[in-house]
Amino acid sequence: MALRVCSRFFSSRLVSAEASSCFPSSGPAPRTCGRTGVFWWVPSSSISSEVFLSRLMKSEGLEADSGQRLPASVPLDSVEQTSLLMKVPDQPDKPRVLQVAVVGAPNAGKSTLSNQLLGRKVFAVSKKVHTTRTQTLGVLTEENTQIILLDTPGLTTPSKVKRHQLEKSLLVDPWNSVKTADLMVVMVDVADRWTCNRLDMEVLKCLSKHPDVPAVLVLNKVDLLKSKDRLLDITADLTCGVVNGRHIRVRPVMKPPWAEKRPDPDPVSPDGATEAKGGADPGSGLSKEQLEELRTRRGWSNFKDVFMMSAMDKEDVDTLKAYFVAAAKPGPWRFHSRVLTDQTPQDICTSLVREKLLENLPQEVPYSVTQLVDLWREGADGQVEVCVKVYVKKESHMRMVIGAAGRTVAQMAQEAGADLSRIFMTPVKLKLSVKLKK
């Protein structure tokens, strides 16, 4: 086992493996980003196999002057985008490819990570859950390697979808993405102290349904975790003390009586408990006995590697990107190198408008709002004029969307327009009109 963490940490903790251990620093030059008592935290720490670390260090993706491609952009014309998606890939010498499914509970940071890996914002991101409604695809092409990212909706239950009147795609798309994946990335929000010590039941179902798909655990938002010394406790819980087939042991230090107590959440959420009484879950394909066994678990013992990182930190993301490049297998590219995403320009526009609605409207209001691109016109000066109609179900919701003197809708249009300008690399003038849906 090789644990890429700061050795200062082990003055207060002991992590041991049945195999020999080494502690190389993370990245070309270790840097300190946080400190709690005697614990120094080095970002993008990982627990990984020695063989894979050796491949990672030799990977071309780690070379500083490797001449990486600039992030692609999305064509303004939907016909051109469709043509680009159907275009025969420009195969390099010795092509390599890896299809990665990014899964996890809602609001774990999946879309944020995908955007950072691509180097351009093409997926909607907000602080509210269920921002991503359907599976979307991103393509990262560097030298002879193509990484296909499947950004999925947060795994949820049928009862929640019915209660909040969400799209059925939230129940289907995450499972379908794993079927075709070469690697599964399971993201966990470690800043959520009530859920960080137990994998979501839907995530466990997905892992159990596809045990043949290699999986890595990504502990996200470590920059928001006040007590960094909890990271190894969380890792031990979520991996059942086993990483890449090797046992790890974590010996906690003696803590004073006033030290923070780790929450012990209920094994199953209220929704999960309700569905458990019905026996087997037909959606997951697991038997009643398998589900009962999963409810006794906190984590999954078959993770190949563990990353501790912040999806907002470029160095952390680059480390994970290099891992993907090293994990890629020989095979033909599936998309042309100019492809960035499978979304049409209009899809990107409506998803970003939905992002702004989620960010600016209270509670459940944005979930009942729909968007439709009414006008998409390219001007002679290169500026793109876009008009999006926002449909609401109640007059009270209309007043919320418009805001006092139209300030709220104007702010959302300005923010979404700025994002679109960066994606398409051309000025975009966006207008939002609010309509009452009859």
Residue by residue, DSSP assigns 76-104 as: SSHHHHHHHHHSPP---SS-EEEEEEEEE
For residue 277, name the pLDDT band (cuts at 50, 70, 90): very low
CATH number at residue 426: 3.30.300.20
What average pLDDT does the segment 7-27 reach? 37
Average pLDDT over residues 339-351: 91
Q: In this structure, are 88 and 153 located in the same domain?
A: yes
pLDDT score of 307: 94
10-19, 218-227, 425-434: the lowest-pLDDT one: 10-19
Say yes or no to pLDDT of 417 above 90. Answer: yes
Domain boundary, last residue among 300, 330, 360: 330
Residue 134, SS3?
A: coil
Judged by average pLDDT, the poorest of 70-79, 103-112, 370-379, 425-434 is: 70-79
DSSP three-state, residue 407: helix
The H-or-E segment that residue 150 falls in is strand 145-151
If one counts every other C-beta atom within 10 angstroms of the C-beta of residue 391, the result is 18
Phi, psi of 131 (to 5 degrees): -70, -45
DSSP string over 296-351: T-SS-TT-SEEEE--TT-HHHHHHHHHHHHHH-EE---SS-TT--BSS-HHHHHHH
If one compares 178 and 401, the residue with the highest pLDDT of the two is: 401
End-to-end CA distance of the chain: 61
Q: Assess whether 361 and 270 both reside in one domain.
A: no
Do 361 and 310 lie in a common domain? no
Could you tell me if residue 111 is inside a domain?
Answer: yes
Tell me the average pLDDT across 130-151.
82
Q: How many CB atoms lie within 10 A of CB 117?
A: 22
pLDDT band at 407 (very low <50, low <70, confident <90, very high): very high
In this structure, the answer to whether residues 396 and 316 fall within a common structural domain is: no
List the Cα angle 215/298/220 in 5-degree steps.
55
Whether residues 372 and 229 share a domain: the answer is: no
- The confidence band for 379, taking pLDDT boundaries of 50, 70 and 90, is confident
- Per mean pLDDT, which of 2-16, 28-42, 305-319, 356-370 is the most reliable? 305-319
Q: Are residues 238 and 152 in the same domain?
A: yes
Q: Please tell me the distance from the alpha carbon of residue 94 to that of residue 132, in angstroms, as a whole number.
A: 35
| 325 and 357 housed in the same domain | no
For residue 294, what pLDDT is reported? 79
CATH code, domain with 166: 3.40.50.300
Residue ending a domain, choose from 330, 358, 384? 330
Are residue 190 and residue 232 in the same domain, yes or no? yes
Predicted confidence at residue 145, as pLDDT, reads: 96
| Percent of the chain with pLDDT strictly greater than 90 | 36
Q: Among residues 306, 330, 354, which one ends one of the domains?
A: 330
| 336 in a structural domain | no
- Examine residue 338 and state whether it is found in any structural domain, yes or no: no
Structural domain contains residue 335: no
Indicate whether 361 and 309 sit together in one domain: no
Whole domain around residue 368: which residue ranges? Answer: 345-436
Q: Which amino acid is at 415?
A: E
| Local confidence band at 155 (pLDDT 50, 70, 90 cut-offs) | low
pLDDT tens figures, 218-240 = 999 999 988 888 888 899 999 99
67 or 131: which carries more pLDDT confidence? Answer: 131
Q: Between β-strands 34-36 and 14-17, what pairing exists: parallel, antiparallel or unpaired?
A: unpaired
Cα 215 to Cα 303: distance, rounded to the nearest angstrom: 5
Per-residue pLDDT tens for 112-128? 999 999 998 888 787 66
User: pLDDT value at position 293?
Assistant: 78
Domain membership of residue 337 (yes or no) is: no
Question: Hey, what amino acid is at 65?
Answer: D
| 33 exposure class (CB count in 10 Å sphere: 0-12, 13-18, 19+) | middle
Residue 14 within any structural domain of the chain: yes
Segment among 168-177, 205-214, 412-421 with least mean pLDDT: 168-177
424 lies in the same domain as 312: no
Same domain, yes or no: 311 and 196: yes
Same domain, yes or no: 225 and 77 = yes
> Which of the residue ranges 38-42, 163-167, 243-247, 255-259 has the most confident prediction, judged by mean pLDDT?
243-247
In a domain, 253, yes or no: yes
Residue 35 lies inside a defined structural domain of this protein: yes
Q: Are strands 45-48 and 2-4 parallel, antiparallel or unpaired?
A: antiparallel
| pLDDT above 80: residue 193 | yes
Pairing of the two strands 215-220 and 183-189: parallel
- Residue-averaged pLDDT of the chain: 76
- Max Cα separation, the chain? 70
- Domains in the chain, number: 2
Q: Is the pLDDT of residue 308 over 90?
A: yes
pLDDT value at position 152? 74
State percent of the chain over pLDDT 70: 67
Most confident option among 129-143, 147-161, 180-194: 180-194
Tell me whether strands 96-104 and 145-151 are parallel, antiparallel or unpaired: parallel
Residue 369: is its pLDDT beyond 80?
A: yes
Q: Which residue has the higher pLDDT, 412 or 135?
A: 412
Least confident segment among 309-323, 363-377, 390-404: 363-377
pLDDT digit string, tens, across residues 54-100: 555 554 444 444 444 556 778 888 899 999 999 999 999 999 999 99
What is the rounded average pLDDT of the residues 176-187?
86
